[in-house]
Structure 1
Amino acid sequence: MERIIFFSGIISIILVYAEASCWGVPGKGPSCNYEGITLDPGQTYEKTTGPKCYKCECNEGGDLGCCYTGMIIRDYPADMCKVVRRGCNEVAVSKTNEDEPCDGPVAAVLG
């Protein structure tokens, strides 16, 4: 049973990084502008409040590259578990005790 939980955790981590959601904003000058925030080349900005958290970096040409950093639960045993939000992340927990992790296969993606 411990091996199944271990390998399920590893696969979940791989899925998170394999399906990371990123986007870019073309530059219109030497700095980057996004949602009222101005960054100089090399500077980064991180939104750390949910529901969608992301990190952006300004490139030399004024282009902005951003990627989501929070996890979204995509699959879990609904008969035993439920999904709750903790900061930027969704977490699968036991239906009977939210302090206990979900005791079953859980799949999550970054986004």
Structure 2
Amino acid sequence: MERIIFISGIISILLVYAEAACWLERGNGSSCHHEGVTLHMGQTYVNTTGPTCYKCECMAFGELGCCNTGISIRDYPADICKVLRRGCNDVAVSKTNEDEPCDGTVAAVIG
């Protein structure tokens, strides 16, 4: 029961602090070019590697609209927890046991 309450609390925090970083790359024509990949209008490109994950969509006139994805931890009790990067997401875990979630208040943002 405690884990359900803990997980519900984390989800609530994530929803409150949710924000996405988005940007637009101007184009010229009917296709978009990103990191050596050519996309046609309506196609998407997803980057799931590196420190920043994002999803881009090729729009009209070759403009590429991109938004960060994943969860970034912004605040946590550093005395009892640490942050690990797992895929596109940060995860707050116990300093003494990385298999256990952080037992404190954690604030994060999406994107």
Normalising by structure 2, what TM-score?
0.87
Cα distance in 2 for partners of 1:25, 1:58 equals 10
Q: CA deviation at 1:4?
A: 6.7
Partner of 1:90: 90
Once the two structures are aligned, what percentage of the paired residues are identical? 65
Cα distance in 2 for partners of 1:40, 1:75 equals 40
Partner of 1:47: 47
Q: CA deviation at 1:88?
A: 1.1
Q: Which runs of 5+ in 1 are unaligned?
A: none
Q: Does structure 1 conserve the Cα–Cα contact (< 8 Å) formed by 2:24 and 2:63? A: yes
For the aligned residue pairs, the C-alpha RMSD in angstroms reads 1.9
Q: 2:55 aligns to what SS in structure 1?
A: strand
Q: Does structure 1 conserve the Cα–Cα contact (< 8 Å) formed by 2:13 and 2:106? A: no
Cα distance in 1 for partners of 2:65, 2:16 equals 22
Query: Would you say 1:76 and 2:94 are equivalent positions?
Result: no
Normalising by structure 1, what TM-score?
0.87
2:16 alignment partner, one of 11, 14, 17: 14
Q: How many residues align?
A: 109
Q: 2:13 aligns to what SS in structure 1?
A: helix
Q: 2:60 aligns to what SS in structure 1?
A: coil
Structure 1 residue runs of 4+, over 4 Å off?
none
Cα distance in 1 for partners of 2:35, 2:65 equals 13
User: What is the identity, as a one-letter code, of the residue corresponding to 2:71?
Assistant: M
Q: Which runs of 5+ in 2 are unaligned?
A: none
